[in-house]
Structure 1
Amino acid sequence: MTTLILMRHGHVDGILPARFRGRAELDLSALGKLQAERLAGRVAARFPAAVSLYTSPMGRCRQTAEPLARLLKLEPRPLQGLQDLDYGQWQGLTHEEVKKRWPDLYAGWRGSPQLIRLPGGESLQDLVARTADGLRDVLQRHPGAADVALLVGHDSVNRALLLQLLDQPLSAYWLLAQSPCCINYIEIQGRRVQVRGVNDTAHLEGLAPEA
């Protein structure tokens, strides 16, 4: 059985008020760094024998992985399958700005995201194909009965992976919350998949609730 611990990166500027961040390089905020330390402490205590640590190539994910790498003495590996969604012309804009400039397309994104291609960017189908390749790559590398693989991704990436693991349609994209430095627990044995926890943030208790 392979255990996947899927996490989101810590807080960055642009989460509140929300902006489309995507491929923009953003460092963790002071809050994000605190979240990453809390995340690392909890995961390292629960999974001290984790065998690998994968991250999105984006800096905010690599920074989130640093405390984990230090505690578990693992070398983080960038995984293209965990790369954030390309928002194209929406990148860097607030939701209100996008809503004013592309009212119909924004309404479609919020209502039927599976039918939308972001202008100059990706579709959810593109994201699913990329994350599926990344997931297959990780599972092929870690077929061991007790392998624990740690993955640090993004809101959109984690949603796409969870939809696949839960065998849900892309139209359910907005039904899954992914808070900064949350933990998702997945066990995979052959063709049997069990998602044992989603968006767990108990380790962040006491930090700013708006994160």
Structure 2
Amino acid sequence: MIDEVVFVRHGRTKYNLARRLQGQIDIPLDAVGRWQADMMAYELAHRYYWAKAAALSRGVGSSSVGMGAGSGDDSSCYRDLPVHSRVLRIVSSDLMRARQTAEALGTLLHVGVEVDARLRERSFGSWEGMTREEIKAMDPDAYRSWKDHTGGERAYGVEDRGHVGSRGADAMRSLVRADDTGRPGTLIVVGHGSWIVATIATLLGLSGTEVSSIGAMRNCHWSRMRPVHGGEGRLDWTLEEFNHGPATTEDWENGPGYLRVPGAPLWVPLDTAAGAA
């Protein structure tokens, strides 16, 4: 029975750096995004190391090297440990940036990554690939309506935010209810910023105007919810963590200096970018 759901946003891409709406364009991680994914994976691997121990007890990813070479049985030391008291699943959006992020964690924990298209990012229609400045210049009224959450973006084929939240929440309920292991478990879903925020808001029962009060998700940060199983299949949800990330002294959005091309633009917050314009 899944009693913990962790939402992880993918790492940085070149579109994130350029502040272009990605939507469902299939963009891979850039060098900083891969670093972010690894830092996230190292951090969450501390928390969920029991999942790797459980995999090793089944011989998944086992090797005799350094564990009594020649015996061919390095899983024996795990067999009597209580590592099977919980189960862990990793499910990713089918878009490459999410799959690459999920694989960073799955590789460390020896847990396979499942793919689910229902976790895709919000579709931004004909705005995909554009910056906010380009959208505003093309249609300032639609841009203003989008920022005010009054629906002007729908004229350009942008997916309604309520629909994003509904399909995300439906996917979460389906994944949680489909668990038939009989053991408590953790579900880690790797997806996208707008999708995660809309899904969490819907699960919490927030109205459309209340969604913005939650805030945004940074790259390779996570949020954690508890599904509470009630009678007749009812699920209630509580939010226990939001937008948490690895502790690091590095510039998270731009990564360590050795991953930056000299003279390349740096990611800056929207309000800072607007002030510098």
Aligned to 1:158: 196
- Is residue 117 of structure 1 aligned with residue 117 of structure 2? no
Aligned to 2:48: 47
Structure 1 residues 5 and 178, CA gap change in structure 2 (3 angstroms): same
Task: Tell me the distance in 2 between the aligned counterparts of 1:193 and 1:183.
Answer: 16
Tell which deviates more after alignment, 88-97 or 64-73. Answer: 64-73
2:97 to 60, 67, 73: 60
Structure 2 residue identity aligned to 1:120: G
2:120 to 83, 89, 93: 83
Structure 2 residue identity aligned to 1:35: Q
Task: Tell me the distance in 2 between the aligned counterparts of 1:115 and 1:106.
Answer: 7
- 2:166, 2:199 within 8 Å by CA — same for their partners in 1? no
- 2:20, 2:129 within 8 Å by CA — same for their partners in 1? yes
- Is residue 206 of structure 1 aligned with residue 250 of structure 2? yes
Structure 1 residue identity aligned to 2:242: V
**CA drift at 1:193:** 2.1
**CA drift at 1:118:** 5.3
1:148 to 176, 186, 199: 186
Structure 1 residues 115 and 102, CA gap change in structure 2 (3 angstroms): closer
Give 5+ residue unaligned stretches, structure 1. none
Larger Rg: 2
Structure 1 residues 113 and 182, CA gap change in structure 2 (3 angstroms): farther
Task: Tell me the distance in 1 between the aligned counterparts of 2:193 and 2:150.
Answer: 15
Structure showing greater relative contact order (alpha-carbon pairs closer than 8 Å, 6 or more residues apart) = 1
Task: Tell me the distance in 2 between the aligned counterparts of 1:174 and 1:76.
Answer: 30
Task: Tell me the distance in 1 between the aligned counterparts of 2:208 and 2:91.
Answer: 24
Residues 75-126 of structure 1 deviation map (CA, whole Å, 9 limit, x = unaligned): 1111122111111110101100001112111111111156752512311132
The number of residues matched between the two structures is: 211
**2:247 match: secondary structure:** helix
- 1:184, 1:197 within 8 Å by CA — same for their partners in 2? yes
Aligned to 2:129: 92
Aligned to 2:9: 8
**CA drift at 1:11:** 0.6
Residues 27-82 of structure 1 deviation map (CA, whole Å, 9 limit, x = unaligned): 11111101101111111210233521011110000000111111111111111221
TM-score, normalised to structure 1, is 0.91
- 2:3, 2:184 within 8 Å by CA — same for their partners in 1? yes
- Is residue 174 of structure 1 aligned with residue 212 of structure 2? yes
- Is residue 195 of structure 1 aligned with residue 239 of structure 2? yes
Give 5+ residue unaligned stretches, structure 2. 52-86, 230-234, 255-266, 268-277
Tell which deviates more after alignment, 175-184 or 163-172. Answer: 163-172
Structure 1 residue identity aligned to 2:227: I
Task: Tell me the distance in 1 between the aligned counterparts of 2:155 and 2:48.
Answer: 38
Task: Tell me the distance in 1 between the aligned counterparts of 2:175 and 2:196.
Answer: 15
Q: Show structure 1 runs of 4+ deviating over 6 A.
A: none
